[in-house]
Amino acid sequence: MHTWMAKFRYAGQGLVHAFISQRSFHVHLPIGLLVLLLAVWLELEPWRWCGLVLCIGMVLSMELMNTAIELLVRVLHPEQDPTIGTALDTAAAAVLVAAIAAATVGLIILLQPLWASL
């Protein structure tokens, strides 16, 4: 039991670190919260909630993974290297692709109910 509590504590520490240190996280998290508040206001069906929560979770998870990769690279290979730079760019591109996909799904899910409520 103690090891599970420690795992949750470590994960929480990672989440706090990302929130404090990552500018991108300062963008993605508030946007995700605004989308969820909009979903509450629109009183969305459960299937729409599932899509939104999955997309928000996907983007935040990708951002956390990108942060982890960046931190590891700084420790393991602090000097500049073009191949590592390309790897870091690719990890950042993964976040971008996830964010674009999430925004697209969000529009598909939210536009009709939003239009109907106006």
User: Regarding the domain delimited by 2-117, which CATH topology (the fold level of the hierarchy) does it fall under?
Assistant: Helix Hairpins (1.10.287)
For range 61-73, the mean pLDDT: 95
Q: What is the mean pLDDT of the chain?
A: 94
Q: What is the CA radius of gyration of the chain?
A: 17
Indicate if the pLDDT at residue 100 is higher than 80: yes
CA dist 82 and 105 (Å) reads: 34
Half-sphere exposure of 88 (CA within 13 A, CB side): 16
- In this predicted structure, what is the pLDDT of residue 92? 96
Task: Tell me the average pLDDT across 72-84.
Answer: 93
Residues labelled as active-site residues: 63
pLDDT at residue 85, as a whole number:
95
Report pLDDT digits (tens) over 1-49: 578 899 999 999 999 999 999 999 889 999 999 999 999 999 999 999 9
Sequence spans of domains, the chain = 2-117
